[in-house]
Amino acid sequence: MKVRQLRARPVGSAGIEPAPRRGWSRDMVENRVLSVLRRLVIAALLVVTLFPFYYMVILSVRPLDAVLQNPGALWVSPAELHLDTYISVLKPESGGGQGFLAFMRTSLLVALGTVAVTLLVAIPGSYAVSRLRFFGHRQISALFLAVYFFPSILLAVPLFVFFTRIGLRGSLVALVIVYVAQIVAVSIYMLRNYFDTIPVSLEEAAAIDGCTRLQVMRRISLPLAMPAIISSGLFIFMIAWNEFLFALLFLLDRRENWTVSLGLSQLSGSIEVPTTVLMAGSVILTLPIIVIFFASERLLTEGLTAGAEKG
């Protein structure tokens, strides 16, 4: 007969097993503290980010006399709420308004033209840098990024003189050319990182089936890179919509070609324009970008982080 050997268990003085220790471990305390701090930090960042825009909206929908009497009010009663300021901002200048509707139309035209031309140049350029092997192909991406970091203010005077001499100052075509020259470098850098993540074996299989390089690019690479292309287009659109320096240099003498950012700057520099009108113009300038960003946040995030990790 086999006899079982039982291990002795430590018991207390009264012969009772000691209960397991229940306490706050260091890891548990750190996790709880970090969880609370994370929520506090997120809430603080939301307040800091959203409060200026909220206050701007509040000022834009209140009458001017109410703003002068109580400028710090953070809530609008239904009796005070009115949209006459927005009507005044959007109304043409000939009708006594500020003409922001025409400014928005011009900004939209310039932004869409910049997106189209930039992508037309950046897509084949980034594909060539990613797929073709030539001398210095690894260093050229860093060179493209360095061009984007070059301060725009240093190019302002030479570009102003150049376009004045060729007779294009005041033209929207000149503005689009300058925007494309400023943005195309970083667009090539972004798209090149995404093309690097597309397996070369897919293109090789298409080439074996008889596709040319252009057919491979059109049928294989471009559909797979569409998230990055869309996000790059949104990124370009936001930059072109908000740009002010070159719009001021090239379009100041021709009000009919003003962009919305240039029109807003003229409102802020005039002592005759009420604060409520200025705030309404600021909301009109900001709102389209906010709507576009939140409507395409997923595509924008995927495209900007594409190519960050490989494996």
Please state the pTM of the whole predicted model: 0.77
Burial 297-307 (b: 16+ CB within 10 A, else e): eebbeebbebb
pLDDT-based confidence at 35, cuts 50/70/90?
Answer: confident
pLDDT of the residue at 119: 94
118 has a pLDDT exceeding 90 = yes
Let me know: does 292 contact 238? Beta carbons within 8 Å: yes
Burial 27-52 (b: 16+ CB within 10 A, else e): eeeeeeeeeeeeeeeeeeeeeeeeee
d(CA 165, CA 298): 44
98 has a pLDDT exceeding 50 = yes
d(CA 110, CA 255): 15
pLDDT of the residue at 271: 63
Given the structure tokens 């070159």, which residue do they identify? 246
d(CA 137, CA 143): 10
176 has a pLDDT exceeding 90 = yes
pLDDT of the residue at 173: 92
Burial 205-226 (b: 16+ CB within 10 A, else e): ebeeeebeeeebbeebbeebbe
Tell me which fold the domain 90-305 belongs to. MetI-like fold (1.10.3720)
